[in-house]
Chains A and B, each alone.
Chain A
Amino acid sequence: MIAWLNEFLGFLPDPLRIIAVITAQIVPLVIVLILCVAFLTYFERKVIGYMQNRIGPNRVGPRGWFQPFADVIKLLVKEVVVPSKANRFLFLVAPLLSIVPALATWAVMPLFPGYAIANIDAALLYILALTALSIYGVILAGWASNSKYAFLGAMRSTAQMLAYEIAMGFALVGVLMAGGSLNLGVITEAQSGGILSWFWLPLFPLFIVYFISGVAETNRAPFDVAEGESEIVAGFHVEYSGVAFAIFFLAEYANMILIAGLTAVMFFGGWHSFFAGSWFAFLDGTPLAFLREPSLAWLCVKIAFFLFCFLWSRATFPRYRYDQIMRLGWKVFIPVTLVWIMVEGVMLVAGVGPWRT
């Protein structure tokens, strides 16, 4: 595909052609992501609706399918109110600082065999660095709003994100040890084989820690004390309205999709098929043989599943108390990851386990 793009745009001078080819890959991905975010909000309201014995949005379009567009248009035409004593520049930059890392991380995501927009060797580090950057949007929004509620929300959220980032980082160390590389494509390759050779099995504690930390990192329920409606109204984005609020909203959902995608790639074999293992060898030669092929569809199925888990936990669990969030992050998750990295190291040296590369 890239070769075709290069040929198609061959008439352009070199620097322009490179930029054009890269842009031609970025734009469709971003559009698809934003559409996914829009329908994720619909999906969330429907799923939680059914879990609570309601039917959720059903007025706009057939079965409420156009609800996200109605919401988007409503947010776009509303006024962006800047509080009078707010720091205007930082107030308006903060939403951008939270959406950019959420979208930029997709550059290294291996979407289908042999393809990522940027196939770089330090992909895991890049992900860690960008996750770290997303704190700025929250902390600046809280400070620039010049509101006590927003500032308290930002403080809570920052402390929480810093704490869970460490656990996430250690979980990623386990993944890179198992995959033998920092490159996400290589990590996915290393999980080839059936469901049992995906990393969720040998790295089960790390998988659990990573996914729960991901929920905490995106400030989603049950870890959404940053919003804490009952105590601090809506947390760091309490002063935001209109498009500025919409961007925070977009960033939160884009981050959810991202965490779901990363969990799928690092622990659930990314684009590998469910039916790839030798158990399903009987499918070869039948019309269903295509099910054994790795493809983008499998990645999407896995992402959808983890997104469902996000919504499921939101509908199921009550909100954590703040000190218990901190306790879970520092005193439970970090020791668990450290111990499992030790175990994994011993197994690697001893040559036990499926992850010998």
Chain B
Amino acid sequence: MLTLAIFGMLAAVLVTAATGVIVSRNPVHAAMWLVLTFATSAVLWLLLEAEFLAIILVLVYVGAVMVLFLFVVMMLDVNATVAREGFTRYAALGSVIAAIVVGELLALLWLRSSGLPITRPLAGMPDGHSNTREIGLELFGGHVFEFELAAFLLLLAIVAAIMLTHRQRPGLKYQDVSAQVKVRREDRVRLVKMAAERDE
């Protein structure tokens, strides 16, 4: 009963937030609505006892991806009216995609009520069951090859991103930090001994 009430509340927030992403005129507001959407869906996952996935959703999407989104949106100063110019041109294509998505969701609802074996409700896990541990065992046990493959791909992406951005521009002035850090007093200061001058 409590679960149902919480679910209803969160679902309402989720739908409002998702609508906010589309309708808000200010791109920063849209990004913040998207943050709220992610956070709410994370809590919905918590209701399904998927605490690991829920926290990872917050950590990765809210904590990292959306911060970069916000950065870009704030720095670029997107002009909303220009971005909206193509609305009528893409309206037809957009509505087709929207119709497909709605159709798929309806199909999902139909599947759930059809009583096929995949639609059985999730079994509640006994107390002391650790979702995090299970995912770890699954990832590093049965799927270690795929996991390593994904890790390798990500590493490649990092190297590529650094290669693309870390080019040497001619005429760029920058400080050699390690040389600065290595500097000792003897390199900069020369102590001079001299006799005191006296006017007598």
Judged by a CB distance under 8 angstroms, whether B130 is at the interface is yes
**A122 B132 Cβ-Cβ under 8 A:** yes
Q: How far is the CA of A182 from the CA of B74 in the complex (A)?
A: 36
For the complex, is A33 an interface residue (Cβ under 8 Å from B)?
A: no
What CA separation (Å) do A140 and B69 show in the bound complex? 13
Q: Which residues of A contact B177 (CB under 8 A)?
A: 323-324, 327
Q: Please tell me if the beta carbons of A121 and B64 are within 8 angstroms of each other in the complex.
A: no
Q: How many residues of A contact B (CB 8 A)?
A: 29
Bound complex: CA A199 to CA B63 (Å): 28
A158 cross-chain contacts in B, Cβ below 8 A? 67, 71
Measured as residues with beta carbon below 8 angstroms from the partner, the interface class of chain B is 20 to 34
* Chain A neighbourhood of B175, CB < 8 A: 323
Given A120-B51, A121-B133, A158-B71, A136 contacting B59 (CB threshold 8 A): no
- Residues in chain B near residue A327, CB distance under 8 A: 177
- List B contacts of A87 (CB < 8 A): 26, 28
Pair A132/B62 contact, Cβ less than 8 Å = yes
Which residues in window 158-198 of B have CB below 8 A to A? Answer: 175, 177, 181
Instruction: Tell whether, in the assembled complex, residue A122 and residue B62 are in contact, meaning their CB atoms are under 8 Å apart.
Output: no
For A327, the closest partner residue in chain B by CB is B177
Q: Is B55 a contact partner of A122 (Cβ separation < 8 A)? A: yes
**B64 partner residues in chain A, CB cutoff 8 A:** 132, 162
**Contacting B131 at CB < 8 Å: which of A121, A131, A136?**
A121
Query: Is B118 in the interface zone, CB < 8 Å from A?
Result: no
Q: CB < 8 Å: which of A18, A121, A135, A143 contacts B74?
A: A143
B30 interface residue per 8 A CB criterion: no
Across the interface, which residues of A come within 8 angstroms of B5, CB to CB? 15
**Once bound together, how far apart are the Cα atoms of A334 and B56, in whole Å?**
21
A146 to chain B, nearest CB (A): 11
Q: State the 7 A-B residue pairs at the shortest beta-carbon distance, nearest first.
A: A132-B63, A15-B2, A129-B59, A129-B58, A125-B55, A121-B130, A122-B132
What would 15 A/B residue contacts be, using CB atoms closer than 8 Å?
A14-B2, A90-B32, A121-B133, A122-B131, A125-B56, A125-B132, A129-B55, A129-B59, A129-B62, A132-B63, A135-B63, A139-B67, A182-B132, A323-B175, A323-B177
Q: Supply 10 further A-B pairs (C-beta < 8 A) apart from A125-B59, A136-B67, A323-B177.
A: A120-B51, A121-B132, A125-B52, A129-B58, A129-B62, A133-B58, A139-B74, A140-B70, A143-B74, A324-B177
